[in-house]
Structure 1
């Protein structure tokens, strides 16, 4: 307790002068948080979509990475944080947004220091998205804006569906990981009219599918992550000649950042899949 009190006093002494240099602009609706910090890629995306001007103080550094973030250009305009309790406390937020897997030690310290921390569940299916938009709208005092996004999302989603009996497809990621039933990626794939053959191949206990099994299954479409710059052992498999030959014989597609986090931006991913299926069926 003495250590915590010392940390609190020390941080407050540092935060005081910083706060005097940058007084908060109270632009959020009355009763809503005026200084919001998001420390998770997915909470960043929803906050960037819904926050009022100057309401959002900082987002996580990963949201400025265009490989993983669908709103990287917008996120890069904000101060970026690296998820430490110390740096976030010094920003003097009255609301901290975190995901279910955010560092529990950092969150515990922020709560002990008296900050309001909200952990918001992730998205596992398309039907979760309207509810999450409502939740973020409530947290930010932006209910009207959330309702607008919900209406647009539901309208767009209703226009994009097909029976899942089209070309055979699979999601294949570094280290041979794939995704099957019960995941948002599977739902996007099947809603676009593809058959996800990950449900036909028996993966290992870790969810990996051996490249040999993938080659024998010969899917019509292989969906991969966009590769990061540089090299990693996890991604070596994605450059294997057998995989390249398989893609050349059928089709390949990069999932891209629109697939991330289950925001309304998945509509763009779904639309791209529908267009790809129509092109494949039209050419068959």
Structure 2
């Protein structure tokens, strides 16, 4: 056999092996409901039932927009500052089809989602519901031949974030990226926890969407309550509210007089004259809006305000793995002596290395002469 014929034969024999090596492999993950989800290949056409979960995808994929076949409209409505950052970097975001409002099961369009022929639908705990049996949204999507993964960063953030990131990473073929962010996330929480051993737990009131609505919306169990607890505080509203959120009267707040007052704000409150914080927000604008909020006669009488233990935090730290930065920021406010050498701004900069969009802007603010912390 000549050298040329031998080369051709060897090349022909190698083709099936090379082709086999390029075949996509099945991927399997366990979602937050303990369900095993298997795909024939990593997902590349995803429908996000809640658009805001783009913020998590953006920590483990450099172009999360390229994965989306459809999504809920809530991201643009609730995270306008993040949306504009994504739009600037990924203009295709404006052409993603909508499948509902992202808020309720009733607001999710099953027909539209199925028509988009996704290879994966990602639902939050609230959209998946309590798996009430035959006919629920998960079962209906699976009956249509569409795999479903349930992930969540909102209702039980400290227990659900890691398994949610791990599931997403495996299902989109970005397991290594997910594990690197998980390592950063767990290191941050463990550092806070280690420094809080033996610490007291000051009473904290968190005023959600401050200044934009009637006083005072606050978290009950879960969401920001988890952050306050992890930061070494005691959320006074948790004992007063039966659900995740609710209304606490100004009179009750004044009578309770917490040690620390935390307001949350965002770009969505600018039109209402509320606390403005967020991506791209200037520090002067944030400080001015916070001063205006604290000048309200009802809030001004609080000991926390008079003693410069009043602070403002970006509301959209919730429902994203970036809440690890919020926990550290809260811990330093509540226990400054234990976190004197910790700089939340440095942790935020480290988180930015993972992010598909810039994370700069005034994301927290402090009252009076209290240090906001960098």
Please, what TM-score do these two structures have when normalized by structure 2? 0.54
> Which deviates more, 167-176 or 210-219?
167-176
Q: Match for residue 49 of structure 2?
A: 39
Larger Rg over CA atoms: 2
Structure 2 contact 261–305 (Cα < 8 Å) conserved: no
Q: Distance in 2 between matches of 1:130 and 1:159?
A: 16
* SS of aligned partner of 1:215: helix
Among 176, 193, 204, the alignment partner of 1:169 is: 204
The structure-2 alpha-carbon separation of the partners of 1:189 and 1:249, relative to structure 1 and needing over 3 Å to count, comes to same
Match of 2:264 in 1: 225
Q: Which residue matches 1:61?
A: 73
| 1:264 equivalenced with 2:264 (yes/no) | no
Q: Give the aligned partner of residue 4 of structure 1.
A: none
Question: Counterpart of 1:165 in 2: which secondary structure?
Answer: coil
Cα distance in structure 2, aligned partners of 1:230 and 1:112:
44
2:220 corresponds to 1:185: no
Match of 2:331 among 274, 279, 282: 274
Aligned residues of 1:62 and 1:69 also touching (Cα < 8 A)? no
- Match in the other structure for 1:252: 310
CA contact 1:169–1:221 (8 Å) conserved in 2? yes
Rounded to whole Å, the distance in 2 between the matches of 1:136 and 1:108 is 20
Residues 196-211 of structure 1: pairs in structure 2 closer than 5 A: 196-198=235-237, 203=240, 207-211=246-250
The range that moved more, 249-258 or 150-159, is: 249-258
Inter-CA distance 72–257: structure 2 relative to 1 (3 Å threshold): farther
Secondary structure of the residue aligned to 1:178 is: strand
3-state SS of 1:50 partner: coil
SS in 2 for 1:255: strand
Following superposition, the deviation at residue 120 of structure 1 comes to 2.8
- Distance across 1 between alignment mates of 2:240 and 2:337: 27
Give the corresponding residue for 1:102: 127
Contact kept? 1:44, 1:60, Cα under 8 Å = no
2:224–2:318: 8 Å Cα contact kept in structure 1? no
CA distance in 2, matches of 1:195, 1:136: 32
Q: Given the alignment of the two structures, is residue 49 of structure 1 paired with residue 66 of structure 2, yes or no?
A: no
Residue in 2 that maps onto 1:241: 297
Within the candidate set 85, 88, 96, 2:113 is matched to 88
Gaps in structure 1 of 5+ consecutive residues = 1-28, 233-237
Distance 1:280 1:155, change over 3 A: closer
The 8 Å contact of residues 39 and 81 in structure 1, kept in 2 or not, is answered as: no
Q: How many residues align?
A: 247
Pair 258,229 (structure 1): closer, same or farther in 2 beyond 3 Å: closer
Runs of 4+ in 1 over 6 A off after TM superposition: 103-109, 280-283
Alpha-carbon spacing, 1:189–1:168, altered in 2? closer, same or farther (3 Å):
same
Question: Alpha-carbon deviations, 1:185-230, whole Å to 9, x = none?
Answer: 223213323333335xx52656543321210121232223316244
Q: Report deviation, 1:275.
A: 3.0
Kindly indicate whether the alpha-carbon contact (under 8 Å) linking 1:69 and 1:260 is maintained by their aligned counterparts in 2: no
1:72 maps to which of 77, 83, 101: 83
RMSD of Structure 2 on Structure 1 (CA): 3.8
Secondary structure of the residue aligned to 1:272 is helix
Q: What SS does the corresponding residue of 2:145 show, helix, strand or coil?
A: coil
TM-score after normalising by structure 1: 0.68
How has the CA–CA distance of structure 1 residues 140 and 204 changed in structure 2, closer, same or farther, with 3 Å as cutoff? Answer: closer
In structure 2, distance between residues paired with 1:70 and 1:134:
26
Q: Is the 8 A contact 1:179 1:198 kept in 2?
A: yes
Query: Which of 174, 183, 192 is the aligned partner of 1:160?
Result: 192
- 1:277: Cα distance to partner? 2.9
C-alpha contact (below 8 Å) 2:52/2:79 kept by paired residues: no
